[in-house]
Chains A and B, each alone.
Chain A
């Protein structure tokens, strides 16, 4: 490359330096450029010596000043161009910044919208949650009411069952309280003795020395009534079973005269015996006495001996009955306590627990079945 003036050499040096400043080159290129710059500077110095610009005379100095001015003008022009270039790029950057600002604004808007939507979503969630809570509360209340109802029913059934048992026991108790057959027979014997004894009081006392039921129980004994001292009241006729065939008139007469003492003191001739006495005698298969002297002592003795036989059984029976009664009363007491007992009462919580237990049992059974099925499947495979 040939240069005609130092300005051309300076321009070339300037170009190389610009390239060096840009940094767009390889290492070998940089080395070459540096070598070229060194060479150009040497050439410039040689040229200056040749054209006299390096001289110190007035003409050389003037020439040098002109050259410097030219170079300054060139530098100014290049500076202006660079500044314009920089401004153009800055304008582009500003435009991009403007887009960026718009995008940022858009993003901010989107963010605000998202926040609003999120708030709406939160409000909806809160509403839904409140509704769900309300539903759960209502469900719990319904379940509680159902448990209470079931508990009430079950408790009622339990109480009914116990009350049925109590009723049954009370009936049993009533049956026990009522006269037993032995007791009935013993009472009949006593009644017969009490009835016939006034006719022949000496029979039992003199022979056996036994006491009648009335004496044994310290019941006042009815004395033999002196009929002449008794005022006979007019009273309605009573119906008696009459063993002899007396006429209706005679019956009326005798009834009218003896009615006042018939229930208290029997007739002396034993011809008119009350119906219940006759029924009792028939029931016990005893003969109806005809005379006080002949039949009555035997009858009384027979009745007495039967009553003595029954006495032993009666005592035992009474003791046994009392024992049974006590047992039943105790059972009734226990059952009544059962009704009142808080531990045995069926409440809503008890029903709930029972339901839970049943559910867990069902789950366990289902699991067991599943396991069995799996084992069977494995065995088949």
Chain B
């Protein structure tokens, strides 16, 4: 019983660490997605400008 309790405590700690890691990764993912959105906007603006120039 005592061993089970220890294992459970260890698992809890591990689980907490994983959740924290996921939170960090989600933050990083969001930053990259923001960057991609910015790039996408820049691409659209540049493409518009180019279209105006070409036409």
Q: Are A and B associated in one complex?
A: yes
CB closest chain-A residue, reference B24:
A22
Would you call A96 and B36 a contact (CB within 8 A)?
Answer: no
CB closest chain-A residue, reference B50:
A61
CB-CB < 8 A to A103: which residues of B?
A: 4, 7-8, 11
Interface bin, chain B: 20 to 34
Would you call B11 and A99 a contact (CB within 8 A)?
Answer: yes
* Tally of A interface residues using CB under 8 Å: 35
The verdict on A106 contacting chain B, using a C-beta distance below 8 Å, is: yes
Would you call B50 and A92 a contact (CB within 8 A)?
Answer: no
Bound CA–CA A99/B7 (angstroms): 10
CB 8 Å contact bits of B5-17 with A (1 = contact, 0 = none): 0011001001100
Query: Majority SS of interface residues in chain B?
Result: helix
Would you call A68 and B28 a contact (CB within 8 A)?
Answer: no
Q: Which of B18, B24, B31, B43 contacts A96 (CB 8 A)?
A: B18
Given A56-B49, A61-B53, A68-B43, A82 contacting B32 (CB threshold 8 A): yes
**Residues 44-75 (chain A) with a chain B CB within 8 angstroms:** 56-58, 61-62, 64-65, 68-69, 71-72, 75
- Chain A interface residues toward B at CB < 8 A: 14, 17-18, 21-23, 56-58, 61-62, 64-65, 68-69, 71-72, 75-76, 78-79, 82-83, 85-86, 89-90, 92-93, 96-97, 99-100, 103, 106
Would you call A68 and B42 a contact (CB within 8 A)?
Answer: yes
Would you call A76 and B36 a contact (CB within 8 A)?
Answer: yes
Would you call B32 and A79 a contact (CB within 8 A)?
Answer: yes
Given A72-B43, A96-B11, A21 contacting B27 (CB threshold 8 A): yes
Min CB–CB distance A10 → chain B (angstroms): 9
Bound CA–CA A92/B24 (angstroms): 16
Would you call B32 and A61 a contact (CB within 8 A)?
Answer: no
Would you call B15 and A93 a contact (CB within 8 A)?
Answer: yes
Q: Which of B22, B25, B53 contacts A57 (CB 8 A)?
A: B53
Query: Majority SS of interface residues in chain A?
Result: helix
Bound CA–CA A51/B31 (angstroms): 28
Would you call A82 and B28 a contact (CB within 8 A)?
Answer: yes
Bound CA–CA A18/B30 (angstroms): 11
**Residues 21-48 (chain B) with a chain A CB within 8 angstroms:** 21-22, 24-29, 31-33, 35-36, 39-40, 42-43, 46-47
CB-CB < 8 A to A23: which residues of B?
A: 24
Interchain residue pairs with CB less than 8 A apart (24)? A21-B28, A21-B31, A22-B28, A61-B49, A64-B42, A64-B46, A65-B43, A65-B50, A68-B46, A69-B43, A71-B35, A72-B40, A75-B35, A75-B36, A75-B39, A79-B32, A79-B33, A86-B25, A86-B26, A89-B18, A89-B25, A96-B11, A96-B15, A100-B15
Min CB–CB distance B25 → chain A (angstroms): 5
The verdict on B2 contacting chain A, using a C-beta distance below 8 Å, is: no
CB-CB < 8 A to B39: which residues of A?
A: 68, 71-72, 75
Q: Which of A56, A79, A93, A106 contacts B29 (CB 8 A)?
A: A79
CB-CB < 8 A to B47: which residues of A?
A: 65
Would you call A82 and B25 a contact (CB within 8 A)?
Answer: yes
Going nearest first, the 4 A-B pairs with the smallest beta carbon separation are A75-B36, A61-B50, A82-B29, A68-B43
Q: Which of A61, A69, A75, A85 contacts B25 (CB 8 A)?
A: A85
